[in-house]
């Protein structure tokens, strides 16, 4: 595979830090800047546009598409299947900065496949994360407590991410994320 001209921005961070919210804010702020593509994940879970931006697939369709080579990357997390569409390859070949919300577990494979990848780690104070997870309403209080307690290092060792703290006002987090994306695009 030829080396891509663009960069794949791998957005990672624990549940409740606001990854999808920051991505949505950056998508809006950069909607007229053709250097950026915000890729929608494919997930084997029904979509809830208020909570998470993705396209839903049933497990059989997901498996068929994966076997047909229709994904740029795919992974398992939280008893679900996730993927990025093959359009990522085209966008990178065109020199775009492609932004995707991914699991930290896929980062080494993504970097191996796309050497120009950049990792952006979104963080937030644990109290903010707990409040956001409760508002999201997907898990019981006990499940949220267990999720917050079990989370390990947010990125694999040896990878130095760009870190954005999203504990404060949304506008501050979005601005920091947009500035990071513009810096990445300027380096291509």
Structure pTM? Answer: 0.87
Highest mean pLDDT among 50-54, 128-132, 151-155: 128-132
Residue numbering of the annotated binding site: 13-20
pLDDT digits (tens, 9 = 90+) for 76-103: 887 889 999 999 999 999 999 999 999 9
Cα 30 to Cα 12, 64, 123, 157, 177, distances in angstroms: 20, 34, 22, 31, 11
Q: How far is CA 1 from the centre of its chain?
A: 23
Q: How far apart are the first and last CA of the chain?
A: 18
Which domains can be identified in the chain, with CATH numbers?
7-40+95-186 (3.40.50.300)
Q: pLDDT band at residue 1, thresholds of 50, 70 and 90? A: very low
3-state secondary structure of 154: coil
Residue numbering of the annotated binding site for ATP: 13-20
Q: pLDDT band at residue 9, thresholds of 50, 70 and 90? A: very high
């Amino acid at each position: 595979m030829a080396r891509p001209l663009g960069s794949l921005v791998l957005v990672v961070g624990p549940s409740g830090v606001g990854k999808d919210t920051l991505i949505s804010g950056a998508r809006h702020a950069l909607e007229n800047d053709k250097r950026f593509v915000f890729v929608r994940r494919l997930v084997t879970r029904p979509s809830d546009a208020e909570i998470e931006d993705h396209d839903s697939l049933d497990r059989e369709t997901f498996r068929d598409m994966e076997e047909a080579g229709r994904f740029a990357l795919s992974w398992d997390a939280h008893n679900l299947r996730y993927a990025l569409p093959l359009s990522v390859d085209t966008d990178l070949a065109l020199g775009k900065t492609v932004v995707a919300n991914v699991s930290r577990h896929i980062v080494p494979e993504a970097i191996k496949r796309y050497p120009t990848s950049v990792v952006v780690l979104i963080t937030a104070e644990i109290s903010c994360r707990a409040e956001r997870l409760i508002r999201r309403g997907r898990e019981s209080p006990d499940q949220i407590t267990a999720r917050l307690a079990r989370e390990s290092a947010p990125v694999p060792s040896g990878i130095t991410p760009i870190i954005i703290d999203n504990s404060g006002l949304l506008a501050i987090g979005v601005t920091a994320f947009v500035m990071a994306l513009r810096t990445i695009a300027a380096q291509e």
